[in-house]
Structure 1
Amino acid sequence: MLKISEFQIKDVVNVSDGKRLGNIGDIEINLSTGKIEAVVIAGNGRVLGFFGKDEEIVIPWKNIIKIGQDVILVRYRSSTEKTSEESEV
């Protein structure tokens, strides 16, 4: 069993490039099935320039590879990666 509070303190790491994406700020639950559909990684606050938050990252539940003691491994490709890779093809 895993509590949401324990889930939120784990670092989320992208297995595609090894980058830390952040921590889970929210989850999306399908109310009809009671299943988790996706996890939402809150954008980091900006210090200089704009004081708003960066865009949230939504990771579908199917893209979570492993939930470990310290980290959650996910498969994630940002929209900037998709466009740069698609332009090379």
Structure 2
Amino acid sequence: MTLYELCQHDVICISTGKNLGKVDDISFDEKTAAIQNIVLYGRLKLFGLLGREEDVLIPWKDIRKIGRDVILVETQIVVPERKKRLPFMI
């Protein structure tokens, strides 16, 4: 599987059933070249003008199954909730 194919997968937490987002990157151990984490980039603040939230690193050992569409993880890492937007009114 290539990184491009991995980035097409949604990451789902088994314990909560929540969609944590899509894989954006992976990090490697410099000495052994083994995959350490999958990276989910933080959400943009004001279209990226104010930067972005913290990136979420999910350890490779927390991955339970990589399927055709999703990656199932069992992790204790807390992913920030998206704030609900109020409908735009004119």
TM range (shorter): 0.7 to 0.9
CA drift of 1:25 comes to 1.3
Q: Which runs of 4+ in 1 moved over 6 A?
A: none
Residues paired across the two proteins, number: 78
Higher strand share: 1
Q: State the Cα RMSD in Å.
A: 2.0
Structure 2 residue ranges without an equivalent (≥5)? 80-90
- Looking at structure 1, the residues matched to 69 and 18 of structure 2 have their Cα atoms a distance apart, in angstroms, of 15
Q: Name the residue aligned to 1:62.
A: 61
Distance change in 2, residues 1:9/1:32 (3 Å): same
The structure with more helix, counted as a fraction of residues:
1
Percent identity of paired positions between Structure 1 and Structure 2: 37
Q: Answer yes or no: is the 8 Å Cα contact 2:28–2:35 preserved in 1.
A: yes
TM-score, normalised to structure 1, is: 0.76
Answer whether contact 2:58 2:77 (CA < 8 A) is retained.
Answer: no
| TM-score, normalised by the number of residues in structure 2 | 0.75
